[in-house]
């Protein structure tokens, strides 16, 4: 008996850092990369096989997989079954530490795999189970990664809000995104701390940047719904300027952003926490997305993803 759980990566289109301070994050699933968990029935304790860590999943599982263990054990508890008799083989095309949601996606794939292995169709419960894994791995994440990855649609996410229809952001036209990875692991904690320090040291400038990011996130959501790619692109450029003011951009990110803009991107910015990680750019159409992929040849990895109404 086998069952396979799958989950996509994610990107933050606009709103990173603003979401930590009461704003909205406009997040998209990013299925160009994904995580897969194959559950195989095998006698003995519940085990994980993965490139980052392999061993028994229980309360003593060490940090690289402690979050996955927490989510897996909670899933078995939800099913009212003992956590034994399965091996989970985990694989992901999502680079670790790139800000593309690898930890939330691997947890979601594992939870889905366990549910499917027990004949249960995964539903809304996956979000809360993934959040357990994210808390064990990252302390107090906003929860946007787990939410967008489990919903699998663009969402307008605010911290502490439960999912309802109003969070779903329908895609008003075909949008083509290109994502480039600097190859430098992004450091969420360091970036969030840098923004907090900036707020303490230069409250007026920090407040202005933060409010601008929050407004741009809402503008981008409205433009995405309306299918207005030019307006979405303008929001991306505007958000990048504010993220630079906040001090979370880097020369590596800006080199890629400039390359995308020089190649005619409608807009480009860093995505995720910054201080490394990825940038994204909006193309005019699918052919232009291929041109942007070529223009981003300096990136460690480049992906493209089309979003359709």
Residues lying near ligand PMV in the complex (CB under 6 A) are found at 12, 16-17, 19-20, 99, 141-142, 144-145, 186, 188, 191-192, 272-273, 277
Q: Toward ligand PMV, which CB reaches closer, 60 or 200? A: 200
Exposure string over 258-278, b if 16+ CB within 10 A, otherwise e: ebbbebebbbbbbbbbbbbbb
Q: Toward ligand PMV, which CB reaches closer, 19 or 33? A: 19
Our answer to whether residue 290 is catalytic in this structure is: no
42 by DSSP, 3-state: which? strand
Helix (H) / strand (E) element for 103: namely helix 102-117
Q: Toward ligand PMV, which CB reaches closer, 142 or 240? A: 142
As measured in angstroms, the least distance from the Cβ of 220 to ligand PMV is: 15
Region of 4 please: left (phi>0), alpha (psi -120 to 50) or beta: beta
As measured in angstroms, the least distance from the Cβ of 288 to ligand PMV is: 26
DSSP state of 28: E
CA distance 209 to 248: 12
Q: Which residue is nearest to ligand PMV (CB)?
A: 272
Q: Toward ligand PMV, which CB reaches closer, 186 or 288? A: 186
CA distance 171 to 154: 8
- C-alpha distances in angstroms, 308 versus 153, 170, 303? 11, 9, 17
Tokens 């929860």 correspond to: 143
As measured in angstroms, the least distance from the Cβ of 282 to ligand PMV is: 19
As measured in angstroms, the least distance from the Cβ of 198 to ligand PMV is: 13
Q: Toward ligand PMV, which CB reaches closer, 83 or 253? A: 253
Catalytic annotation, pick one of 124, 127, 145, 262: 145
As measured in angstroms, the least distance from the Cβ of 99 to ligand PMV is: 3
Bridge partners, residue 267, by sequence: 282
Q: Which residues are designated catalytic? A: 145
């Amino acid at each position: 008996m086998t069952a396979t759980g799958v989950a996509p990566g994610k990107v933050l289109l606009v709103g990173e850092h603003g979401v930590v301070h009461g704003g909205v994050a406009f997040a998209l699933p990013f299925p160009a990369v994904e995580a897969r968990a194959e559950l195989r029935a095998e006698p003995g304790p519940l085990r994980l096989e993965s490139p980052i860590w392999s061993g028994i999943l229980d309360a003593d599982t060490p940090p690289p997989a402690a979050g996955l263990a927490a989510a897996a054990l909670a899933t078995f508890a939800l099913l009212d079954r003992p956590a034994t008799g399965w091996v989970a083989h985990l694989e992901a095309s999502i680079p670790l530490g790139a800000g593309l949601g690898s930890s939330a996606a691997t947890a979601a794939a594992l939870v889905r795999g366990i549910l499917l292995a027990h004949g249960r169709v995964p539903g809304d419960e996956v979000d809360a189970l993934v959040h357990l894994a994210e808390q064990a791995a990252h302390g107090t994440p906003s929860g946007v990664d787990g939410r967008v990855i489990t919903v699998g649609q663009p969402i307008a996410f605010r911290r502490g809000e439960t999912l309802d229809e109003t969070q779903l952001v329908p895609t008003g036209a075909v949008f083509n995104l290109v994502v480039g990875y600097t190859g430098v692991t992004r450091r969420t904690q360091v970036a969030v701390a840098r923004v907090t320090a900036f707020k303490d040291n230069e409250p007026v400038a920090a407040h202005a940047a933060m409010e601008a990011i929050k407004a741009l996130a809402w503008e981008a959501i409205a433009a995405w719904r309306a299918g207005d790619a030019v307006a979405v692109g303008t929001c991306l450029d505007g958000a990048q300027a504010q993220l630079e003011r906040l001090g979370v951009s880097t020369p590596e990110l800006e080199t890629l952003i400039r390359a995308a803009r020089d190649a005619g991107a409608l807009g480009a910015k860093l995505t995720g926490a910054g201080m490394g990680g990825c940038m994204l750019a909006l193309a005019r159409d699918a052919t232009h997305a291929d041109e942007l992929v070529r223009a981003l040849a300096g990136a460690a990895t480049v992906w493209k993803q089309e979003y359709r109404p």
